Amino acid sequence: MTGIRAAHEANEPCAIVHSAQQAASNRAFVQHALSLMKKESARSADTHLLRLDVPAFHGIEIYFKDEAAHPTGSLKHRLARSLYLYALCNGRLDSGQTVVDASSGSTAISEAWFARMLGLPFIAVMPAATAPRKIAAVRALGGSCDLVDEPAAVHARAAWHAERGACHLDQFGLAERATDWRGNNNIAESIIGQMRLEAHPEPAWLVCGAGTGGTSATLGRYLRYRGLNTRLCVAEPSGGAFAEGWKSRDRHVHATGKTLIEGIGRSTVEPGFVFDVVDAVVEVPDAASIAAACQLVDLLGRRYGGSSGCNLVACLHLAAQMLARGEQGSIVSLLCDRGERYDDTLFCNSWRAQRDIAIRPWQEALQSALSEGRGLMLAT
Ligand X SMILES: *Cc1c(COP(=O)(O)O)cnc(C)c1O
Q: How far is the CB of 54 from ligand X (least distance, A)?
A: 22
For ligand X, which stretch binds (CB under 6 A), given 3-11, 136-144, 151-159, 203-211? 203-211
Of all residues in the shown chain, the one whose CB is closest to ligand X is 263
Report which of 368, 281, 379, 308 is spatially closest to residue 54, judged by C-alpha positions: 368
Beta strands in the chain (DSSP E): 49-52, 60-66, 99-102, 122-127, 144-148, 167-168, 205-208, 231-237, 280-284, 329-335
Distances (CA, A) of 12 to 1, 26, 359: 19, 21, 69
Phi, psi of 368, deg, nearest 5: -75, -30
Instruction: Please state, in angstroms and rounded to a whole number, the distance separating the CA atoms of residues 377 and 380.
Output: 10
Interface with ligand X in residues 24-43 (CB under 6 A): none
Amino acid at the residue 223: L
230 binds ligand X (CB under 6 A): no
- The DSSP symbol for 46 reads P
- Assess 373 for contact with ligand X (CB under 6 A): no
By the rule CB under 6 A, 104 interacts with ligand X: no
Choice between 124 and 323, CB closer to ligand X: 124
Nearer to ligand X, 203 or 263 (CB): 263
Separation CA 258–CA 241 (nearest Å)? 10
Contact between 203 and ligand X (CB under 6 A)? Answer: no
**Per rule CB under 6 A, is residue 232 in the interface with ligand X?**
no
The window from 120-128, 195-203, 214-222, 285-293 that contacts ligand X (CB under 6 A) reads: 214-222
Q: CB-wise, 203 or 209, nearer to ligand X?
A: 209
Q: How far is the CB of 311 from ligand X (least distance, A)?
A: 8
Q: Which of 106, 99, 117 is nearest to 75 (CA)?
A: 106
Instruction: Single out the residue of 137, 337, 339, 376 in contact with ligand X (rule: CB under 6 A).
Output: 337
Is residue 210 within the footprint of ligand X (CB under 6 A)?
A: yes
- The window from 85-93, 212-220, 252-260, 342-350 that contacts ligand X (CB under 6 A) reads 212-220
CB of 186 to ligand X, least distance (A): 11
- Residue 305 makes contact with ligand X by CB under 6 A: yes
Among 143, 209, 240, 339, binds ligand X (CB under 6 A): 209
Residue (19 or 212) nearer to ligand X, CB: 212
Give the per-residue contact string, 252-281, with ligand X (x = CB under 6 A; - = no): ----------xxx-----------------
Which residues have a Cβ under 8 Å from the Cβ of 123 and sit 6 or more positions away?
98, 99, 100, 143, 144, 145, 146, 161, 166
Q: Rounded to the nearest 10 degrees, what angle do helices 132-140 and 106-118 cross at?
A: 10
Q: How far apart are CA 341 and CA 318, in angstroms?
A: 28
With CB under 6 A, what is the number of residues at the site for ligand X? 21
Q: Which is nearer to ligand X, 293 or 323 (CB)?
A: 293
Residue 188: closest CA among 70, 332, 328, 71: 332
Using CA atoms, how far apart are residues 357 and 212, in angstroms rounded to an integer?
Answer: 26
CB-wise, 145 or 241, nearer to ligand X? Answer: 241
Q: Which residues of 27-50 are buried (b: 16+ CB within 10 A; e: fewer)?
A: eebbeebeeebeebeeeeeebebb
Residue 58 CB, nearest approach to ligand X (Å): 30
**Residues at the contact surface with ligand X, assessed by CB under 6 A:** 74-76, 105-106, 175, 209-216, 262-264, 305, 307, 336-337
